[in-house]
Amino acid sequence: IVAREWHPEDTVINIRGIPLGGPQVQVIAGPCSVETPEQMAASASAVKAAGVRLMRGGAFKPRTSPYTFQGTGVEGLEMFRQAADAENLPIVTELMDVRQLPMFMDYGVDVIQIGTRNMQNFDLLKEVGRINVPVILKRGMSATISEWLMAAEYIAAGGNHNIIFCERGIRTFETAYRNVLDVTAIPVLKKETHLPVIVDPSHAGGKAWMVPALSRAAVAAGADGLLVEMHPSPCDAWCDADQALNPQELQTLMGELRGIAGIL
Ligand code: PEP
Ligand code: MN
């Protein structure tokens, strides 16, 4: 279902009237994690001020250590919904467990993110395949392109064809940065599938200063959008502080992208 062979034209996904996968590049920006109502209100207004039309934020966080901050959970969803509604921004947030799905529907989550660590959680994929909410499917950190395409097929097979691929860097021998952004995957995926392909430069580089260069590379290589971490005060972020842009840096990045991609 996801193969371009069966659907030659690009699929454009409609997120509350905002197209993803068409001629416009769409940026999704926001903090790694939902922290407080004040942090979310400041994030939403910074997203809006930069001209970004979709907001990200994790309420349920897949942390490497069980002893670190695990997310604000359902209270986070509530804070996110209120802050985003005040700026009329659709929300993108990660689903970690099928038991959270009814809650996601209650809060009207506009785009469900399936994280790297769950790319091959097939029961989770089947479950989001049964609803029609758009899904961002992040690439597993060691997943091949064909494994990634087949994971998307699990969602599509259930009837949900609103799938967005997200390259977020893969694990290699290199330790100088968090992950290696696989720019090669962008044209390959655009050839193999009719579905939109976006890039997360934040989890690839792992440092805020790398984000503009990786973003420009992704857009120049044909990405349909970006998923960028931005925090109103990066040094105070509860998670992924090193890679968060501040509001001014997001604004500057948007200006740079307009020079490469035309309309945003
Ligand atoms: C995230 O986007 O917050 C995240 C946890 O990303 P990934 O699944 O790519 O590690
Ligand atoms: Mn993060």
Instruction: Kindly tell me the burial class for residue 179, based on how many C-beta atoms sit within 10 Å of its own C-beta (0-12, 13-18, 19 or more).
Output: buried
Instruction: Please report whether residue 258 resides in a domain.
Output: no
Residue of the CA atom closest to atom 6 of ligand 1? 115
Q: Ligand 1 pocket, 115 CB below 6 A? A: yes
| Per-residue confidence (pLDDT) for residue 179, from 0 to 100 | 98
Task: Determine contact, residues 91/105, Cβ cutoff 8 Å.
Answer: no
| 156-195 pLDDT per residue, tens | 999 999 999 999 999 999 999 999 999 999 999 999 999 9
The mean of the pLDDT values for the chain is 98
Q: How confident is the model at residue 137 (pLDDT cuts 50, 70, 90)?
A: very high
Q: Answer yes or no: is pLDDT of 247 > 90.
A: yes
Instruction: Please report whether residue 113 resides in a domain.
Output: yes
Instruction: Please report whether residue 260 resides in a domain.
Output: no
Q: Answer yes or no: is pLDDT of 1 > 90.
A: yes
Q: Which of 130, 132, 116 is nearest to 63 (CA)?
A: 116
Q: 230 C-alpha vs ligand 1 centroid, how far in Å?
A: 13
| Per-residue confidence (pLDDT) for residue 125, from 0 to 100 | 98
What the block records as the tokens of 135 is: 């899904």
Query: Phi-psi bin for 169: left (phi > 0), alpha (psi -120 to 50), beta?
Result: left
Which atom of ligand 1 has the smallest separation from the CA of 239?
3
The stretch 146-158 carries a mean pLDDT of 98
What the block records as the tokens of 64 is: 């490497």
Q: From CA 95, how far away is CA 35, in angstroms rounded? A: 17
| Per-residue confidence (pLDDT) for residue 210, from 0 to 100 | 98
Task: Determine contact, residues 60/86, Cβ cutoff 8 Å.
Answer: no
Q: Answer yes or no: is pLDDT of 263 > 90.
A: no
Residue of the CA atom closest to atom 9 of ligand 1? 116
Q: Ligand 1 pocket, 116 CB below 6 A? A: yes
Q: How many domains does the chain have?
A: 1
| CATH number assigned to the domain comprising residue 156 | 3.20.20.70
Q: From CA 82, how far away is CA 76, in angstroms rounded? A: 10
Q: Which ligand is nearest to the CA of 64?
A: 1
| Per-residue confidence (pLDDT) for residue 262, from 0 to 100 | 73
Q: Which domain holds residue 159?
A: 24-61+70-239
Instruction: Please report whether residue 40 resides in a domain.
Output: yes
Instruction: Please report whether residue 56 resides in a domain.
Output: yes
Q: How confident is the model at residue 204 (pLDDT cuts 50, 70, 90)?
A: very high
| 64-81 pLDDT per residue, tens | 999 999 999 999 999 999
Instruction: Please report whether residue 57 resides in a domain.
Output: yes
Q: Answer yes or no: is pLDDT of 264 > 80.
A: no
The stretch 123-129 carries a mean pLDDT of 98
Which atom of ligand 1 has the smallest separation from the CA of 200?
9
The stretch 25-41 carries a mean pLDDT of 98
- Which helix (H) or strand (E) segment is 147 a member of? helix 145-157
Running DSSP on this structure, what letter comes out for residue 195?
A: S
Mutate which of 65, 168, 199 for ligand 1? The one with the most ligand atoms within 8 Å of its CB, which is 168
The stretch 85-110 carries a mean pLDDT of 98
Torsion of CA 59, 36, 225, 205, to 10 degrees: -90
Q: 62 C-alpha vs ligand 2 centroid, how far in Å?
A: 9
Instruction: Please report whether residue 256 resides in a domain.
Output: no
Q: How confident is the model at residue 254 (pLDDT cuts 50, 70, 90)?
A: very high
Q: Ligand 1 pocket, 178 CB below 6 A? A: no
Instruction: Please report whether residue 203 resides in a domain.
Output: yes
Q: 1 C-alpha vs ligand 2 centroid, how far in Å?
A: 30
The string of DSSP letters for 64-76 reads SSTTS----HHHH
Q: Which of 264, 225, 196 is nearest to 28 (CA)?
A: 225
Q: Answer yes or no: is pLDDT of 18 > 80.
A: yes
Burial 124-146 (b: 16+ CB within 10 A, else e): bbebbbebebbbbbbbbbebebe
pLDDT > 90: what percent of the chain?
Answer: 98
Q: Which of 107, 36, 42, 57 is nearest to 78 (CA)?
A: 107
